[in-house]
Amino acid sequence: MDHKPHLRRLQHVWVENPCYFVTTCVHARRPRLANPDAHSVLVEEWSRVAVPAGWQVGPYVIMPEHVHFFAAPSPVAARDLSYWVGRWKRATAVRLNLGRAREEPFWQPGFFDHVLRSAASRAEKWDYVRQNPVRAGLVVDASQWPYSGSLHFD
């Protein structure tokens, strides 16, 4: 089976105050995220890893096998997006794999990111993400989904 190559991440973004839409998936798409413990770990590690690296996390939705979130660099980001998302994934994997008889990969390699270039595209993307639990049949109304929120900005 031929796989299409992934687009390379841009080295430079020429958008003032960019906001990124990020998606990352659990290895083998196992449903390991939509529970109170995983939710707590993901949020705690965003706070612990993102801010020192010069990033902020806005709205997020945690689905059973993947997570979507918005991220924005502080005015002087200390690290690039790949670096801090990689650190966050490593930190969450260690904590979420604790107690397992054998260590296995937690996250799929890499992640998807998209620079949101306007308030309209950001609102459209958020509406799509916010409705994910409804489309998946997990809740009837997006406001009922307990594994979503916002950390540093809306």
Q: Is 149 helix (H, G, I), strand (E, B) or coil?
A: strand
Structural domain that includes position 104: 19-150
Exposed / middle / buried, residue 152 (Cβ in 10 Å: 0-12, 13-18, 19+):
middle
| Residue 95, domain CATH | 3.30.70.1290
Averaged over 2-13, what is the pLDDT?
47
* Residue 87 in tokens: 């650190």
117 assigned to some structural domain:
yes
Residue 3, pLDDT score: 44
For residue 82, which amino acid is it? S
108 assigned to some structural domain:
yes
What is the count of structural domains for the chain?
1
Residue 55, pLDDT score: 92
Q: Do the Cβ atoms of 113 and 21 come closer than 8 Å? A: yes
Averaged over 143-153, what is the pLDDT?
96
**Residues 77-134: pLDDT tens digits?**
668 899 999 999 999 999 998 766 666 799 999 999 999 988 899 999 999 999 999 9
38 assigned to some structural domain:
yes
Q: 22 pLDDT band (50/70/90 cuts)?
A: very high
Q: Do the Cβ atoms of 78 and 53 come closer than 8 Å? A: yes
2 assigned to some structural domain:
no
84 assigned to some structural domain:
yes
64 assigned to some structural domain:
yes
50 assigned to some structural domain:
yes
